[in-house]
Structure 1
Amino acid sequence: MTNKPNRLVLAVDRDGWTNGFQLQIASLDENGHGSGYRLAGPKYNGSGKRLFEEELSARDVAEIRTFLDEAYPESDAAPRTERELATLAVRAGRALQDEKRHHHIAAQENARLLSERDELKAEAEQWRATFGRDALPDALARLERAETAADARPADSTRAVLDEGHAPLLPEREAEIRQSQPGDWLPGPWTIHDIDGTADEPGRWELVHHGSGKVLATLPDWAGNVALWAADAHDAVPELLDELDRVRAERDRYAAELDRLNLEHWEDQPTNVVLAEVQAERLRQNEKWGEQNHPDGTGTPMQQDIARMCRQACQEAAAKGEVTWRLISDEEHAEATAESDPQKLRAELVQDAAVKVAWIEAIDRRTATRTNFTV
């Protein structure tokens, strides 16, 4: 049985390391194996990808040989000696050995990288399962927001305002973070060791339990920051949770103090007294008339004209230094009745009501009398 003749191909590959193009002419057997000559591009390292392949026919070979003979005709030089042929053979053998070694090293490196990728992926999943995917970043961000709210300590704020600034850490998420901590079953500290690589084994980082010396995890040499984060997380996350509890307690203490001060000095704030009287009057109105729902009856052309006149009158009086509460109140009330849009009407009514509360406060200051209202 005779072997099937090899076929000649002209091929273009893309190198897996340099991403460069490689042009070669090769002789391949029926299984696609063989050897060739690299015409251009980087050396082969076993990681290339075939992009193009064209089989050369006998006619193609004849044409190429004709062009080569014309470009580089055979010289009349003397044939090579046996010593020269032997030297060429040795060089060819060494080149082939180097090429095989290069391919072997490239294959080993590819296998190592794939193994490290799988190991790192497994380690990452292990840490996510132990500490939670975003435990440390979440705790840091929420702690920063909570401390900002506590440090602000606005004098006129109440518990509601402080709560609005508090980080929205859901109880379920906080419970997950607390339950995921190793705690007493694997106490700290945890440390990291930088293991130097050898000719046969690459460098690595080891996460080690300081007490027992047990290796908890192994990471590649480029993952030093990840190893440091993992070692510090054992103590850092509980510390952040304790600090979060402290900030919450401090926030509650300040909120309670603000509530106490607001209650103790409630009657010293004129607006609160007037608003309490308004609230009492509203209760009497509801008790007498019940809930009232009437059309607004605002926004007519006549009301808009009245608003313009009241505004002009108030501005002219202010320019002369003769403005009065009645002129200010008339302007605000007229501007409210000139609006037909419910949202704008509501906003103007709030302004109108605020002006009337301020008017009452001015009367109380001027007369030094205030309704003896008990909360």
Structure 2
Amino acid sequence: MSLLSIIITLALVPTRGVALPTGCATSHSPEGTASPQVQIRCWLQKLTAIPEDIPTSVTRLSLSYNLLRRMRVPPLERLWELNVKWNQLETVDWESLRNVPALKYLNLNHNRLTHVNLGAVSKDLPNLAIVHLEDNRLSSFTLHDLGIPFVSSVSVVKIGNNPFNCDCAMAWLVNRFKCLQESLKLGDDPTSCIRCGTCVFGLVKLDAMVCSSPEHLRGVAMSNVSNHLSRCVDEATTSKTPGLPTRRYWIEGTAAGHLKSHPKTNGGTPVISDLQESPASKLVTWCGNSTESATTERMETKKPRLKVRNIVLTISVSIIILSLIIRKLRSGSHGDERAASDDISLQQM
């Protein structure tokens, strides 16, 4: 075989001749397999980035137990499993997941992620079925952030052991877990997770899904948060400065304690705390509406003015009626005097 033939052969089979970091293991499925698999495992290699020389034919890639802090996925069109658990990931270039359109399984367990945005690429990942996000630093997110609903039927998005911030922005999740808890109390109904919309989170231990903030709810199971909180109100800021966000407050019943009054409320409505600003999202019905609150406030402000105006109007009408009565009485009196005078004149005649 000529040297040129050898070079061409190696070029056509990149998985056999690509250098990988020392300690990375590569395995191939037996020859003749209907769907050939190429698995690469690079554990405990102190990697700080995904190697650029990963062969494009790889189907399963595991980079667990390394030092990755940022992740950008290179073009790997056949990759269907990506495992990056037990790293130090703080940021992920979610847009780069478009480079792995065949992805089915994504494991990001035990990292330092504070943000997730699978929704930005969910349409480009029609096969994605299982996502692991446990043991990160995710405090607040939406269904869209989790990539739900996907174009295809997603099976599981695991979110356990994250420091949930139980504010209005997470009320959608609080209500789902509350629904699941109430359903389980009635019996072991296999359709409970379907009815409550929690099947997507897999098998959930409700007592393990707890709030980390605000402080007065630290350690409280998310399924019990609504028992502590009666409603969540969106209060529009009274400042005229444009661009300021809506401020959200948790309202708690008087029996639960931990109350303090907010200076903007009339009568000292009990307010727990001024919550952190969060992205605009659709809130559940008990989260209130800032427009309605502002309208109610304006109506309450107008009530005293309307009352004074009604009193003035009533007094004015009364004065007019009294004037008419007096005028009529005087008119009648003058008529009687004139009639008496006419009678005397006739008698004298």
* TM-score > 0.5, shorter chain as reference: no
Smaller-chain TM-score range?
under 0.3
Q: Which has the higher contact order (CA 8 A, sep 6+)?
A: 1
TM-score (normalizing by structure 2): 0.22
Of the two, which has the highest radius of gyration? 1
TM-score (normalizing by structure 1): 0.21
